[in-house]
Structure 1
Amino acid sequence: MKPIALSTLLALSPALSADTDYAKRFPPKWLEHNGQIRPETLCYNYPEKSHMYPLCRLQAIEYLQQRCQRYSNILDNTDDPATRRHYNRLSNKYCTASEQYHKMLLDEGVIEE
């Protein structure tokens, strides 16, 4: 599979998610360990040789980034200690997974900067 530039992926993002009903039928799944997403397991719910596997992997980049940003923004805009603890865990979980997954795809040559 030819590497896809991240700028190309971002430009294609609306096209990949244009049909939200279709996208909802193929959500990425992953396994966790100690409350952290294991990036190597993202999209394990699709066979590697399937048509949906590479699409899922590319969409997973956007999904993780969106969750990271969403929970970080909530964390930045709350003063309640319990709410901060909750969103700090979620922010850490998705931001860490986003960084690790992005690096993994770069290392594999699936995407390029």
Structure 2
Amino acid sequence: MAFTNEEKRDIIQIYYKYDRNSVRTSEMYLNLYPERRQPHRTRFKLDRNTTEFGSFEKPRKKYADRMDQETKENLISEINMNPGKSSHQIFSKMNNCHTGAWRHLKKAV
């Protein structure tokens, strides 16, 4: 279960109050909020995410967007030139993840 934004905010406030010391932050969070779920002391990437991305969570790319345009074109071209080859053979020849390629092909059809 994920932390709520309120819980994340409280964690970050305590984290900065204790000079970004994750062990002390964990101890203080437990003392202040014993009824809440407790974060592991290595859970303090929230700080970096808010600084870099302006959000508690790191934004993720959609699967289909992870493959660049050139790779997509090569994939379609390879399939058109070798329609009898298995998808596994084509994807491994291209050194590409077969699940990512399948996602792209589903969108293309």
TM range (shorter): under 0.3
Higher share of residues assigned strand: 1
Higher relative contact order (CA 8 A, sep 6+): 1
TM-score by length of 1: 0.27
TM-score by length of 2: 0.27
